Amino acid sequence: MITDYKIISKLGEGKYAFAYHVIERSSKKQYCMRILKLQKRNGISFEDMEIEVNVLECLDTPFVVKCHKHFEHTDRLVMITELCELGDFFAMINESKKEQKKFTENQIIDWMIQILLVMQQCHHQKILHRDINVKNIFLANDYSAKLGDFGAFKILSNSNDKASSIVTTYSSLAPEICAGHKYNHKSDIWSVGIVLYQLCALELPFYSTIIQQNYKN
């Protein structure tokens, strides 16, 4: 139950979801609590969250944000996940840009290896993440990268299958999606490349308004 947890602070807020730093009252362990609004217009259901949890459980890697528990509370879906106290890559990059201090080459290589190991497992199991960006990659206490938020994932029926709907952040859109074509796991790799560029340059290679306009054209 949601009352089994004490809220410490708000970690973030999206259009349909909130994230909190919480402590489980019985064990005193710290977690992240994701609360998603159950609304017809956003198409989110408890079954969708259960599928996401099952996807997370089948990925045997330390570089994915693990789910501890999930349940339904009134008109909300609640997911209790591993807490990444150091925040996400978006905040980390902004802080580095503010301090004018770039990441070392070795650190960037380590993070890329960790993210690509997750991609290897995902694509081996025909799972597309479809929303890889710096706001969905988190930093663990040991400074390792952890990919989270699999809410937009899609499981392909076979290795030659392709997806067509647009669910990712515009700034991470692969060229084939901008061109209105169907796409596969290669679009995830493009998005990882955008993350790599941001880690190196502390900014996007191009901005979503330009990409969005190109897509509409």
Q: Which residues are catalytic?
A: 131
DSSP string, 187-215: HHHHHHHHHHHHHHHSS-SS-HHHHHHHH
How many CA atoms lie within 13 Å of 141's alpha carbon, on the beta-carbon side?
5
Pairing between strand 76-81 and 154-155? unpaired
Helix (H) or strand (E) holding 136: none
Token duo for residue 1 = 């139950």
Taking the CA atoms of 61, 132, 120 and 113 in sequence, report the sign of the dihedral they define: negative
Residue 170's nearest CA partner among 153, 199, 194 is 194
Closest by CA to 63, choosing from 145, 137, 150, is 145
Q: Could you tell me the two tokens for 8?
A: 């410490």
Only one residue has tokens 């597309």, namely 128
Q: Is 187 helix (H, G, I), strand (E, B) or coil?
A: helix
Answer yes or no: is 40 a known binding residue. no
Binding-site residue numbers are: 37
Binding-site residue numbers for ATP are: 37
